[in-house]
Chains A and B, each alone.
Chain A
Amino acid sequence: MNPSSLMLAGALFVVAMSSRAAEGQAPWHSATARELHKVVRFEKPDAPDRPARVGDMIQGVERFTTGSSGSLAELEFDDKITVARLGSETQFSIDPVTQRIKLPKGLTVLSVHNGEIFCETCALSIAQKSTAIVESFDVATKRNAPLRCATKYILLEGHATVSTPDGKRHKTLKGGQMILQLEGDPNLGPIQDVDLKQVLKESRIITGFATQLASMPKIQEVVQQQQKELWQGVLQHTGFAVAGRGRDRYLEPPPNRVDWEAPYDPDVPAAAIIDRLPDPCPTCP
């Protein structure tokens, strides 16, 4: 191979690597802790675990784990824009070979601005260029059956593609949608719309940090669109809600819709309108 061929090959390699970096593959080598709350541990295979410190970096074999309720961490990736937030009881690392986020257990928010980030859980492979909540948890599917791992994925803005770990099935989500997937299920679960306004308002992983997510304006656009569609009647509450972490569903308290004095008034609390005392009572003196 002559020198000019070598130079050409070298140039092509550099271009290829630059292109890979531009696509967002390269910056996910490492993530650095920039905000910590309560119990956050830094784990390294060849060293004893220790409390994490701001500035600690994971870039392969290391991982961050968080403690019980209230423990939170915010990590910044190499590009200084992409952010991962960790909820309590979470294990978070970056695969040193594939640069994919690994979330075997717990809760995270991934917020990407340039490029595409990949995340692997027990039940889903995720590719996203936006902001999403990802949760891995164990769930009992049948009585006396062993627990199964499951993943909940809530996209807050933009678009994302989720697929089964074997890559045979995939679906695309848009902001405001959620999917729940059990490990081992060959088919992907149904995509559901969720009320993002409520999710954001009551989630410490969103509100519990000193700085807002940089993508919050985009998330607010999705919230506004949902609220508009709810107001128009195109979107409707089913009455069901998934209770925080995990997949337990419950029926939200229905408003007490009938009373004597107030007309049908579903938006007014029961206590405001309930009145079982007709006045005037036709039987009363």
Chain B
Amino acid sequence: MSLRSAASDLISWRVEARVAPPRWTPGVGSLFVTLLLSGLLLQLDSSAQESTAAATQNTPATTNEPKGAALPGTPGLAPVSSDLGPQPVLQRQSFPRLFRFYSDTQVMHVSNVLLADGELVQEGPDALLFQSFGASLNLPLIRPLTTTLFGMHDIVRYDEFSKFDFDADTGGVRLGLPVAELFQLYGAWFAGRDYYREGGKEFFKFYDTRAGLYRQDSLYRRTRLTYGYQFDWRPSSPSVLTRMDNALYTELDATLIDKLTGQLFYRARFRSYLETDRADVDQLIGFNLIYAFNEMVNLRGFVTYAVNRSSQSDKEYDVFNGGGGLNVSIRF
């Protein structure tokens, strides 16, 4: 059975739900635990190194160890630091730059374009062009809350599955709030619709209410660890796709050379479909290599691998994506 015929046949094929508890994949789960532990160990190791060095090099004249005295209003959890921290360079503008336009173009290979389970429907690859155009407006309303209005248009074009080419429009508002230097809280409300390029028939619509928080810590020079949690509530049409998500994520950023950055990230997400008895657990691990020509233009290569386990076994899949992208962003 070819992929194309499988897709055509199965779009109208009602597979009887086979309820099964979500399965945990030990391999990816272990990876998550390893990532989290690595971050923790990196911090502990750094502290331990300092303590050890202090113990071994201490002289009678130097008995006081750094107390890590926090700044007023900063948490006692001082990040791992050197004598002198990085100095992010700022630019003073003659007037506030509140608008931003961006374009992002990515070409990728998808190993399992049908997100098939490999049993009922065979897995098959395809290539994909994903073009996004977007604009945003920052509104400084109540300090320190950041408020951003945004809109974006996406163009998705398949290679083999071109009859499913579609466009998407998304718009909404996003809020951000730092909490006592400990976390960054964020929230958003946005709506989106997806429609086929041919005929313009809308096949998906959603409203998303989002809340999350994350924290960033510097580990070593040019290395940063981020970890956080995100909640999404997404009433959708068709309503069978209405769902509630809870996600935990972690990300390690490292500047490898002046303009080349590596990003390793992991996310575990629990998706509950509210109109059915479906529940999914998906895990995603990925790596980005980003080369920034300047603050406006960057080029990236990426790979991701995701595993989805579901209470409905035909919704389970593994997928690998790899490709490249170009991002252009202009503020004015």
Q: A residues near B, CB below 8 A?
A: 35-40, 50-54, 67, 69-70, 72, 87-88, 107, 133, 135, 154, 178, 192-195, 198-212, 216-217, 220, 226-245, 248-254, 256-258, 260-261, 263-265, 267-272, 274-285
Contacts and interface: CB of A to CB of B under 8 A. Distances in A.
B148 to A, nearest CB: 8
Contacts of A87: 83-84
B31 to A, nearest CB: 13
Given A36-B64, A263-B170, A269-B249, A207 B284 contact: no
Interface in B129-154: 130, 132, 134, 136, 138, 140, 143-144, 146, 150, 152, 154
9 contacts: A203-B82, A207-B69, A240-B89, A250-B257, A251-B261, A272-B247, A281-B113, A283-B161, A283-B164
B57 interface: yes
A258 B106 contact: yes
Given A271-B249, A272-B249, A284-B116, A198 B87 contact: yes
Given A233-B93, A245-B84, A204 B255 contact: no
B68 A281 contact: no
B119 interface: no
Given A39-B59, A210-B67, A285 B11 contact: yes
Contact of A271 (B59, B62, B188, B251): B251
Contacts of A54: 61
Contacts of A226: 90
A184 B258 CA distance: 26
A207 B70 contact: yes
B253 interface: yes
Given A251-B259, A271-B249, A285-B13, A263 B203 contact: no
Given A271-B251, A284-B115, A69 B214 contact: no
A200 B154 CA distance: 41
A10 B73 CA distance: 52
B183 interface: no
